[in-house]
Chains A and B, each alone.
Chain A
Amino acid sequence: MHKKGIPLVHLQKGKKGKIIYIHGGRHGGSNFGHHGHYGFRNRLNVLGIREGQIVKVDSKQPFMGPITISVGNCQMTLGRGMAHKIIVEEI
């Protein structure tokens, strides 16, 4: 049974998903100004948010505001654009 991945941003509040892919590799992610050389994926990885981990959507702020997620004991807030780059499989 292989379900197709969806961007984390489409996961509903309170739902969990398994991370299957994170876009924005080591040398990509110009989204971060002077952090540009250090990709989005790495920034998440060092926080323990990686492929295979279970992520839960804790809250979504209205009007395209940021979403708050938790992975293990780590909780964080990130923008919706970033949440688009995290591909999950709902569980």
Chain B
Amino acid sequence: MIKKIVLMGNPNVGKSVVFSRLTGAKVISSNYPGTTIDFSKGKMRLDEEQVEIIDAPGTYSLESSNKAEKVAVKMANDADVIVNVIDATNLERNLYLTLELLEGDKPVIIALNLWDEAKHIGINIDEKKLEKILGVPVVPTVALTGEGIKTLVSRIKEAKSPKKIKPTVEEGRWIEIGSIIKKVEKVEHRHHTLRDRINDLTIRPSTGIPIALGIIFISFWIVIFIGENLSLLISEVFERGYKPILLGFGEIIGDGHIYNILISQDYGEIVFSESLGILSTGLYLPLAVVLPYIIAFYFMLSILEDSGYLPRLATLVDNVFHKLGMHGYGIIPMFLGLGCNVPGALATRALETRKQRFIAITLLAIAIPCMAQMAMIFGILGPYGIYYIGIVFLSLIILYVTIGFILNKFIKGTSPEIFLEIPPYRLPSLRTTGKKTWMRIKWFLKEAIPFMIIGVAVINILYTAGLLQELARLLQPVMEGLFGLPGEASTAMITGFFRKDLAVGMLLSLDVNAYQLVIAATMLTIYFPCVAAFIVMIKELGVKDMLKSAAIMLSTAAIVGAVLKIILIGV
């Protein structure tokens, strides 16, 4: 009786795509290790029965070398059937895990994935012969298009543990693999393909660095273009469709505290970006201002991930990141952090040492604004011109580099070198990219909206109770003397703990000029992560290290605020 099926395979073999084909469930699949550590689980129908199916983390061998691989091994031990997904373009290397699996006593079936690609580059595999030699079913698949998946499902019950492979040591396995390869694989001589040329150009420093800058520039341009236009569109819906309804609802409630909390501080008037009502600003900011950029950002990020470009970028920037105490892989948490600091912090797990992770997380919290916050920064500073937005981002870039450099000098521990597989370029499929973007958007909505509503409610209640005004009065000397900001800016700083985007939005209602907005927006980015990111960072670093990290954040924010004030406004 089959109850649990586990997918096992090397990283980058399209295992997650096979998984999503089998289950139809929503899974995230990517080219780099960070996201597959959290495994996916789903259900599939097999002979009228519901069967559990698990996508184990990618592993090269059962002699696990890291946490994710240990998880994979445990999962294999619990399986009723193991579906071993192997990369037909890299048969030799993939067979190592296969032999290890076949030495055990779990029934195995093999999905020979990337079958089309193997043929395309001149690798011909006699799958029937391979099936005969290994003694288990071997099904060629192209997970991206779904080819072969039906056959795979129909043959799952044929999976077996033939005991044809005698347990041996590493050396013995490689000899065995060599003899299998000789019998089943024919490689035609291949010419340099366009893909090889692109690969070469993007990894060679002289051409790769200009291309990388170009790709990053174009990506951000696309994000801003899509984001801006979507935002205009959704705002229109809010203004024309939602506002009349909300005004009507307001008349029913009548003026009072409930009206203030739900709709607006001023009776009868709704300015979506400033009114601070749960039903007005609380919905408008996440849906009309932030969501458009989130959609655009994750769409571009998914394309960059699925194409396989990120490991090349990591190679090109390794040098710089090594000086900051990390290695090239550090660009991945940074990139993810530009979407949201939470997945960014989770991705730091792929860095090997405590020192690297501490630096990566601290820099993430200080210098990487999330897309939500960036959207708001564009929103409030955009009208004044690109120059002001430029100051904010230039300050953050300078901080990222200087603080990384300093931390690398003073934090104890080692920073191992980069060791990263470069998967071949693959054309991202619209289906996988779309699915992944959708998953991330759903995640954003689930995470952002509750915090936004809580944030708006807390601020609103504190405001109604008069506590915020009191605090603003108390902090007035510090805010004004040190940072050149009005006392009320302290309110935004408190709000920033709940949602940074909401906090930036609150600056709008202050009577400030462009330079003051620049100072406040920069400080809001640096001083502390939002509560969601903060919780994840505590989990990743532990309380002690997080306290250290937080001390660095707060002092950096104070110094940067003061320095910017002197430069921009004068003493």
Q: From known contacts A66-B318, A68-B422, A79-B327, infer whether A74 and B90 are also in contact, taking CB-CB under 8 Å.
A: yes
A30 vs chain B, min Cβ distance (A): 9
Q: Which residues of A sit under 8 angstroms from B422, Cβ to Cβ?
A: 68, 75-77
Chain B residues positioned under 8 Å from A87 (CB to CB): none
The listed residue (A31, A48, A73, A77) touching B311 by CB distance below 8 A is: A77
The 8 Å CB contact of B416, one of A31, A62, A68, is A31
A-facing mask of B57-89, CB < 8 A → 1, else 0? 000110101100000000000000000000001
| A62 close to B319 (CB less than 8 A) | yes
User: Given A46-B61, A50-B174, A59-B203, A66 and B414 touching (CB < 8 A)?
Assistant: no
How many chain-A residues does the 8 Å CB contact rule pick out? Answer: 33
The residues in B between 293 and 315 inclusive whose CB is less than 8 angstroms from any CB of A are 311, 314-315
Asked if B145 is an interface residue, CB under 8 A from chain A, the answer is: no
Smallest Cβ-Cβ distance to B316: which chain A residue: A61
Question: Are A43 and B419 in contact, CB atoms less than 8 angstroms apart?
Answer: yes
Q: Are A66 and B204 in contact, with the CB atoms below 8 A? A: no
Q: Is the CB of A48 within 8 A of B203?
A: no
**Smallest Cβ-Cβ distance to B206: which chain A residue:** A62
Q: State whether B417 touches A81 (Cβ < 8 A).
A: yes
Whether A68 touches B315, Cβ cut-off 8 Å, given contacts A46-B60, A77-B418, is yes
Inter-chain residue pair count (beta carbon < 8 A): 111
B353 within 8 A of A: yes
Evaluate contact between B63 and A77: CB separation under 8 angstroms: no
B51 to chain A, nearest CB (A): 30
Q: Are B66 and A35 in contact (CB-based, < 8 A)?
A: yes
CB proximity of A58 to chain B, nearest CB, Å: 6
A76→B417 contact, CB < 8 A: no
- Give the distance in Å from the alpha carbon of A83 to the alpha carbon of B60 in the complex: 21
Contact status of A32 and B315, CB under 8 A, knowing A45-B170, A59-B205, A74-B421: no
Interchain CB contact under 8 A, B421 and A76: yes
- Per the 8 Å Cβ criterion, residues 36-59 of A in contact with B are 38, 42-43, 45-48, 50, 58-59
Q: Are B352 and A48 in contact (CB under 8 A)?
A: no
**In the assembled complex, which residues on chain A have CB atoms less than 8 Å from the CB atom of B328?**
66, 77
A35 near B352: Cβ-Cβ < 8 Å: yes
Q: Are B319 and A63 in contact (CB under 8 A)?
A: yes
Known: A33-B352, A76-B421, A77-B328. A48 touches B205 (CB 8 A): no
| Separation of A46 and B98 alpha carbons in the complex (Å) | 12
Nearest 9 interchain pairs by C-beta: A79-B417, A48-B93, A46-B60, A65-B319, A38-B65, A33-B353, A75-B422, A77-B315, A33-B352
Q: Which residues of B contact A (CB under 8 A)?
A: 60-61, 63, 65-66, 89-90, 92-93, 96, 121, 170, 174, 199-200, 203-205, 208, 311, 314-316, 318-319, 322, 327-328, 352-354, 414, 416-422, 424
Question: 20 A-B pairs, CB-CB below 8 angstroms?
Answer: A31-B416, A32-B416, A34-B352, A38-B63, A45-B170, A45-B174, A46-B61, A59-B200, A61-B318, A61-B319, A62-B205, A65-B205, A66-B319, A66-B417, A66-B418, A68-B315, A73-B121, A76-B421, A78-B419, A79-B416
With contacts A38-B63, A68-B422, A72-B90 known, what are 6 further pairs, Cβ within 8 A? A42-B63, A43-B65, A48-B90, A48-B92, A48-B93, A59-B205
